[in-house]
Structure 1
Amino acid sequence: MPKIINHEHKKTEIIQYAFDSIVENGVKGSTVRQIAHIAQMTPGQIRYYFPNHSELLNAVMSTVEVKIRRRIEAIFTSKNLNTIDKVKASLLTVLPLDQERLADMEVWMAFRYDIHEYGQSTLDDGLDQLCHSILTLLNNEQLLQTNLNIHLTAMKLHALIDGLALHKLLNPNDTSNEDIQSIIDEEIATLTYKGGKT
């Protein structure tokens, strides 16, 4: 009886092997041959599912984006958090504060700095959209300070998140999760009335 192969499961496995390879070797070091070696497959078997290297890399990046989006959606649909807590939690969830998020961020940074065109992915757009959505939410609930330029404030917030993420990656021992949380708390407090206590 012929062996039945679950092709979707196999594709997911290959994406995970590619993800692990990028964390270990960067984007440029994660060739089809290298990924095939890790997966104990032939390059031809990899190409059956992903005809070219770019398609595989895009699949990895899409997987990271979906994971991050789901984390954010879970926060904003939670009935256990108030608006301010949702805002803070959504910003913290895109930062490398645990092993899973650290790996996601390492892959994202590898794309951004190893191959620039991949780095300008929808993940950057998603973070920009998150910052704008947060400010719009605070404004709609009359928690946002008046007379703020939303565009410039969102840009500043985006830059802060980028900076904290990079700083945590480069200086993990000097940057505690508590320090990052305090910085986020202070930033949101400056944007809202009485730190969002109203």
Structure 2
Amino acid sequence: MPKLIDHKKKKEQIIEYTWQSIVNSGAKGATVRNIAKLAKMTPGQIRYYYPTHSALLDAVMEKVNHKVSQRIQEIFGQETLPEKERIIQAILAVLPLDDDRYADMEVWMAFQYEIHQAGTNSMGDEIRMLIQKSLQHLNEKQMLQKDLPLEFTTMRAHALVDGLALHKLLTPDRIDNKDAIKLIRAEVHSWLKEEYQ
């Protein structure tokens, strides 16, 4: 009787091994040959599921985006958290403050580098959209300062989050987690009416 192959499971395993390979060796280490060795498969088997390196990286990036989105949704689902704290925790969810988020950020950076090398605009709008949604949420709750310049605030917060993420990834000893958290708290507090700070 022929052996049944669960193709969905196989694809998920390949994505997991690719993720591990990027974490261990960076984007350059995520070659089909290295991934095949980790997965105990042949390069041809990997290419059967993901014909190009870009397709493989796209699948891994989709996994990272899904994980981060889930983290943020879980935070917003915690109704016992005050509104301000939900926003702070959601923004912190994208920073590499623990091993899991650090690994996700490494994969994200490798992906950004890969598509930048291909001559494509590599910067996604996920963090900017998170900040815009956070500001919108606080505005709906009437917690924002009356004349807060939303576009400027979005740019400033986006630059802060990107900068912190990069520092935590490349020079993790320079800014410790407590200071990164304080900086995000101070940023969110600067958006709020005095009674909500």
Report the TM-score range of the alignment, normalised by the length of the smaller protein: over 0.9
Following superposition, the deviation at residue 28 of structure 1 comes to 3.0
Please state if 1:88 is matched with 2:113. Answer: no
> Aligned ranges for residues 12-161 of structure 1 at < 5 Å?
12-116=12-116, 120=122, 124-161=124-161
Distance between the aligned counterparts of 2:82 and 2:146, measured in 1?
21
CA RMSD of aligned residues (A): 1.7
Percent identical: 48
Distance between the aligned counterparts of 1:169 and 1:196, measured in 2?
32
Contact conserved, 1:23 with 1:107, CA < 8 A, in 2? yes
Q: Which consecutive residues of structure 1, in runs of 5 or more, have no partner in the other structure?
A: none
Q: Deviations over 1:48-96 (max 9, x none)?
A: 1112211111000111011111111111122121110100000000000
Q: 1:79 to 1:104 in 2, by over 3 A?
A: same
Distance between the aligned counterparts of 1:195 and 1:20, measured in 2?
46
Q: Bigger shift: 169-178 or 75-84?
A: 169-178
Q: Deviations over 1:91-143 (max 9, x none)?
A: 0000001110000001111222344157726xx31211111000111111111
Q: 1:97 to 1:111 in 2, by over 3 A?
A: same
Task: Name the TM-score, length of structure 1 as normaliser.
Answer: 0.92
Q: Which consecutive residues of structure 2, in runs of 5 or more, have no partner in the other structure?
A: none
* Equivalent residue, structure 2, for 1:4: 4
Following superposition, the deviation at residue 149 of structure 1 comes to 1.8
Following superposition, the deviation at residue 195 of structure 1 comes to 6.7
Distance between the aligned counterparts of 2:54 and 2:171, measured in 1?
31
AA aligned opposite 1:28: K
Task: Name the TM-score, length of structure 2 as normaliser.
Answer: 0.92
Distance between the aligned counterparts of 1:42 and 1:29, measured in 2?
16
* Equivalent residue, structure 1, for 2:196: 196
* SS of residue matched to 1:163: helix
AA aligned opposite 1:59: A
* Equivalent residue, structure 2, for 1:174: 174
Following superposition, the deviation at residue 22 of structure 1 comes to 1.2
Following superposition, the deviation at residue 11 of structure 1 comes to 0.6
